[in-house]
Chain A
Amino acid sequence: AQKVTQAQTEISVVEKEDVTLDCVYETRDTTYYLFWYKQPPSGELVFLIRRNSFDEQNEISGRYSWNFQKSTSSFNFTITASQVVDSAVYFCALSEPYILTGGGNKLTFGTGTQLKVEL
């Protein structure tokens, strides 16, 4: 069974600090996809990144960067120079393909990490 673990329940940082959110996953699939979503207080889940299991290159997008390490089954997310607007709950998710239907996938989410950025 698929499983995603976000061991950090809550992290508090002061603005401009760097912060890393951890994500560890379990899967028996050789092909899978990993996602990060942001959920601000308004409640809507905002897509941040999608990565497939064959692409282990790290990715940087502005102040955001992601470190994918297949050897340790981790997909960690770093925010550089954090800002108050980064305060939100961040979810890591793992896709599971539906074998019998010939297509489609199911997301398994972690429990989320609440990030609080203070002035």
Chain B
Amino acid sequence: EAGVAQSPRYKIIEKRQSVAFWCNPISGHATLYWYQQILGQGPKLLIQFQNNGVVDDSQLPKDRFSAERLKGVDSTLKIQPAKLEDSAVYLCASSSWRAGGAADTQYFGPGTRLTVL
């Protein structure tokens, strides 16, 4: 079974430029997550989708970050304009959806390492 796919693996941009990351979840997984992992820290959830609807985007800096999952499968995360503090690894994960708060396992992609100069 194919895992979570992400591209690109690495990206270097100048501050104030725009960048987009792509994620394709494990087939059949209804839930998709984007995380930001700053060096030396644990991943922090940016946004969670259930199919093509947003479940939680409370920690997404909406003035510069946006994400979409139009057809309920793959997803794009965009930063516009980028700041120096956005340098991080952006991880995508997917899982099945369970009602009642039960936690299904999240499986992660290889991540995109973003460097903002």
Question: Which residues of A line the B interface, CB within 8 A?
Answer: 4, 31-33, 35, 37, 42-47, 50, 52, 91, 93, 95, 97-99, 101-107, 109-112
Contact = CB atoms under 8 A, between A and B. Distances in A.
A46 B109 CA distance: 9
A104 to B, nearest CB: 5
Interface residues of B, number: 30
Give the top 4 A-B pairs by smallest Cβ distance, nearest first.
A97-B101, A109-B42, A95-B103, A33-B103
Contact of B55 (A4, A32, A101): A101
Interface of B: 31, 40-45, 48, 50, 55-56, 89, 91, 93, 97-111, 113
Given A45-B91, A101-B55, A104-B48, A109 B101 contact: no
Contact of A44 (B31, B48, B109): B109
Contact of A45 (B43, B56, B101): B43
Given A102-B99, A103-B101, A43 B50 contact: no
A46 B103 CA distance: 17
Contacts, number: 82
B41 A111 contact: yes
A47 B101 contact: no
Given A45-B91, A111-B40, A111-B42, A106 B48 contact: yes
Nearest to A111: B42
B100 A103 contact: yes
Nearest to A112: B42
Contacts of A91: 42-43
A47 B100 contact: no
B111 A106 contact: no
B31 A110 contact: no
Contacts of B99: 102-103
A56 to B, nearest CB: 17
Contacts of B108: 37, 44-47
